[in-house]
Each structure stands twice: as C-alpha cells, then as structure tokens.
C-alpha cells in the first residue's frame, strides 16, 4: 500500500545573504535582490510531498 502526505510550512522567516563571494559579502545585495530576501515570516512557503510505502510483517519473506 502506498500513501501520500503533504506538509506545508509558511511560518518561517528567511534571512538575507551573508558572506557571498570570497566570504566577505561582495555580492550579498545582488543575491538578496535575486532571491527576494530577507523575508519576514508568512512570506515564504515550503511544501513537502511524501510517499509512504507500507507492508505488513506477515507479507515479508
């Protein structure tokens, strides 16, 4: 039997870039602009789709 589940999280903040390019932040502002960060909680969303396979112990070899 295969079941599916979807988990959604939209309550987390995302910080801005720090240390991009040679570890000294030369392109932090460019990365932030491209990624749309920093972003406050509620402005982001992660969706995890999972598929779970089940088999009874009595069905195992």
Res 25: pLDDT: 72
| 3-state secondary structure (DSSP) of residue 58 | helix
Indicate the number of domains in the chain.
Answer: 1
Inter-CA distances, 33 with 10, 11, 18, 24, 40, Å? 21, 21, 13, 17, 15
pLDDT of 58: 92
Domain range for 12 is 2-59
What's this model's pTM, rounded to 2 decimal places? Answer: 0.59
- CA dist 30 and 23 (Å) reads 15
CA distance linking residue 12 with residue 9, whole number of Å: 7
Digit-coded pLDDT (tens) for 9-53? 999 999 999 888 777 778 899 999 999 999 999 999 999 999 999
User: Whole-angstrom Cα distance, residue 19 to residue 31?
Assistant: 11
Q: Render pLDDT for 1-14 as a digit per residue (tens, 0 to 9).
A: 789 999 999 999 99
What pLDDT is attached to residue 24?
A: 75
pLDDT at 38: 95
What's the token pair of residue 54?
């089940």
């Amino acid at each position: 039997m295969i079941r599916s589940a979807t988990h959604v999280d939209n309550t987390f903040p995302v910080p801005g870039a720090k240390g991009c390019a040679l570890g000294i932040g030369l392109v932090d502002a460019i990365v932030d602009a491209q990624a749309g960060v920093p972003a406050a909680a509620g402005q982001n969303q992660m969706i995890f789709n999972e598929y779970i396979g089940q088999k009874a112990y009595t069905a195992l070899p």
